[in-house]
Structure formats: C-alpha cells, structure tokens
Amino acid sequence: MKDAIKRAIPEPVIAWARGVQADVKLRRETLRQMKRFRRNYARRGCTGVEQMRTRIIYFTHQIEKGLSHSDFRYGFGKGVLAQLAPLLVQLRKSEPGYAGDGVYRSALSALHEYRQRHEVADYDLGYMRQLFPLDLWQEIGAADGTYGGDIVIRAVDKADNASLPFSALSEARHSIREFTDEPVSVDDIMAAVRVAMRTPSVCNRQPTRVHITTDRDLIGRLLAVQGGFRGYPTPPALVLLTADTWAFMNQDERNEGFTDAGLFGMSLLLSLEERQLAACPLNTMLPMQRDDQTRSLLHLPDNELLVMYVAVGHFPEESKTCMSRRFEAEQIVTVH
Ligand SMILES: Cc1cc2nc3c(=O)[nH]c(=O)nc-3n(C[C@H](O)[C@H](O)[C@H](O)COP(=O)(O)O)c2cc1C
C-alpha cells in the first residue's frame, strides 16, 4: 500500500518536497556549525591555552614574514609585538610546560632574531623592550635563534627536484613570496595542473576549477583585495582555485568543495615545486565585499566558491622565507 502511494507521487513532487526538506536542514546545520565555531575559535582576549597558542603562531608568522623580506624594514611589526608580548606572558602563567612548547620556542626564536638584527644595526628597540617583563626579555636574548625566524632558499638547490622522492620534495617545499622578474607562462602552470588532476575528490565529482592569470595589473588588483600579500612585489602569475557548487547534491555536502579543492591545492603546490617553480598559497578568507570584488574582477560565476590562491614565479638565486616550524606528529595524533 505504502509503496503503491509512493509510486503514484510524481517525481517532480518528490523532488520539490526533498528540496524543501534540504533547505530546512541546510539552515539548521549551518547554524549549528556557526555556533560550534563561535564557541571555540581563538578570538582576541581568549584565555584557553590552545587558542592562545594559535594566536602566538599567527603573530610569530607575521614576525617571520617581516624578517624574510628582501627589503627589510627596521622597526616593522610594532602592533604585532604589542599583541604577542602579553600572550607569551599569559602562556607562561597558564601552561606549566611552556618552556618546552614548540610554539613558545618558535616565537622566542623569531623574537631573538628580530632583536639581534635591530641591535646589530644600533636601532632603538625601546618600543619593544617596554612590552616584555625583564625575565622574558632575557629569555628572548638567550633563545635558540634557529628554532624560528627565517630560512634561506637557493634556486640551485631545486635543480634535482624532478628526481626527488616524495618525502624529500615535500620537506624542501616552502612558501616563496618574492620571485624573479622572469615571466611564467600559462603552459608552465598547465603542466602542473595536469599532474594535480590525479587528486582524488568525493565520488570523483571533481569540483575544483582553476583560474590562471599572468596579467600583472589584474594580479596586483586581486592581491590588493586579498590583503595577505602586502609589501611584496606583484608575482608573475596567480592561480585561483575554486569549488563548483554544481558538483554537490545536498546540504550535507556544503563544505566538501573546500576539502576537494584544498587537496587539489596541495597537489598543485608539489607539482609546481617538482617543476622548479616557486609558489605561495594565499587565502581567500574574504569578507563579503572583498569576495564580491574578487568575483567581479575575475568574472566568476555564482556557482563557484573561492578556496585559495597560489602565487607562482621563478626562484630567485637566493631568497628568505619564514621557517614556519611544525608541530611534532605525536602532538596532533590521537589513536582511538
Ligand atoms: C590556504 C592557505 C592560505 C595561505 N594564505 C597566506 C596568505 O594570505 N599570505 C601569506 O603570505 N601566506 C599565506 N599562506 C602561506 C602560509 O603562511 C604557509 O604555507 C605556512 O606558513 C607554512 O609554510 P610553508 O608553506 O613554507 O611550509 C597560506 C597557506 C595556505 C595553505
């Protein structure tokens, strides 16, 4: 009887009813996701150790970026230091094993390099000194300067990239933010995209879309909107990865495009590295207005979600980049 009724309902009616049900679920689940995020993220003023560590990593990264600029600017990062100092003081109070914490060590190492570079140049560090209590200031002075800060990348070291085993290629890849003036062709990038096409995706639905531009004026305008690449010369090429919502079938899949295009992004980064092309992934965490500006600059269709940029260029003979120290694997693994 029940089956007979089901068979009698025309497919458009079933599709409509399912659509209404999915819309209700989409709203409910998105709200739940929003609430979970709001309960947990590392907001300014947070007091949880993990959230404080997040903010310390973020500010350490800003210091590492400043240290690695070829056009080094003495006195950079005053606002960053002003946020980092109280976080470190607070972490020392809240985390008993702080001295062995890689996040703390990495921050101190970057601050050590910051301090040393300025002191060697006889630059007045009064603005920095006043932010730190004496014991922390002394610890920065005595810190291991090799645990954070910047590292040097040389183009010659990339010559054998095509024959490196995966682990070595992965170990040697770093984000490069300053490139030579040599152009990068769309063909060069296409060769890397073809390799990245082997990236798996949910049910093989392949939602990733790739937008490439080598138009410096357009790249400059896009990166001005992006905002996370300030102070660097315009790169010769820019790739935008998007996720096509047309590849998804119901509300449960709403975040899957970020996973699939994110995986594609990693394949692309390694594929570029293998071809001796330098690259830096760049976020597209844009507030609505800047999202709209980006969409209009690239004439993106409504169905595509911004996932990430990748700036691409050639390795300078020698350049500096952030050390970006990683956690130990044991720190992120839970065996159930
Ligand atoms: C999705 C994503 C977004 C990123 N956004 C930016 C950015 O906006 N600006 C920037 O300078 N670096 C950005 N990065 C680069 C990270 O800072 C870098 O990957 C991280 O510090 C690790 O360093 P590594 O890539 O050298 O291993 C981004 C990386 C990823 C994966």
Residue 179 has pLDDT above 90, yes or no: yes
pLDDT confidence of residue 2: 78
DSSP string computed for 90-141: HHHHH-TTGGG-HHHHHHHHHHHHHHHHHHHTT---HHHHTTS-HHHHHHHH
Contact 280 CB / ligand 1 (< 6 Å): yes
177-314: in CATH 3.40.109.10: yes
Contact 177 CB / ligand 1 (< 6 Å): yes
Residue 145 has pLDDT above 90, yes or no: no
Residue 268 has pLDDT above 90, yes or no: yes
Euclidean distance between CA atoms 285 and 306, whole angstroms: 8
Q: What is the mean pLDDT of residues 221-250?
A: 97
Domain ranges of the chain: 2-40, 49-151+322-332, 177-314
10-62 pLDDT tens trace: 989 999 999 999 999 999 999 999 999 999 999 999 999 999 999 999 999 99
Q: Kindly report the protein residue whose alpha carbon is nearest to atom 22 of ligand 1.
A: 324
Q: How far is the CA of 122 from the centre of ligand 1 (A)?
A: 32
Max Cα–Cα distance, the chain, nearest Å: 89
Contact 115 CB / ligand 1 (< 6 Å): no
Residue 189: pLDDT band with limits 50, 70, 90: very high
Residue 204 has pLDDT above 80, yes or no: yes
Q: Is the dihedral of CA 198, 163, 241, 33 positive or negative?
A: positive
Residue 243 has pLDDT above 90, yes or no: yes
Q: What rounded mean pLDDT belongs to the chain?
A: 97
pLDDT confidence of residue 7: 84
Residue 66 has pLDDT above 80, yes or no: yes
Residue 3 has pLDDT above 90, yes or no: no
User: 141-150, 234-243, 298-307 — which is least confidently predicted?
Assistant: 141-150
pLDDT confidence of residue 270: 98
Q: How far is the CA of 175 from the centre of ligand 1 (A)?
A: 7
Q: Kindly report the protein residue whose alpha carbon is nearest to atom 25 of ligand 1.
A: 175
Name the DSSP class of 40.
H
Helix (H) or strand (E) holding 209: strand 208-213
pLDDT confidence of residue 249: 95
Residue 4: pLDDT band with limits 50, 70, 90: confident
Q: How far is the CA of 85 from the centre of ligand 1 (A)?
A: 23
Closest alpha carbon to 184 in 171, 172, 197, 193: 193
Alpha-carbon dihedral angle through residues 63, 69, 75, 78, given to the nearest 10 degrees:
-30
pLDDT confidence of residue 84: 98
Contact 175 CB / ligand 1 (< 6 Å): yes
CB 112 within 8 A of CB 139: no
Q: Is the dihedral of CA 272, 210, 266, 282 positive or negative?
A: positive
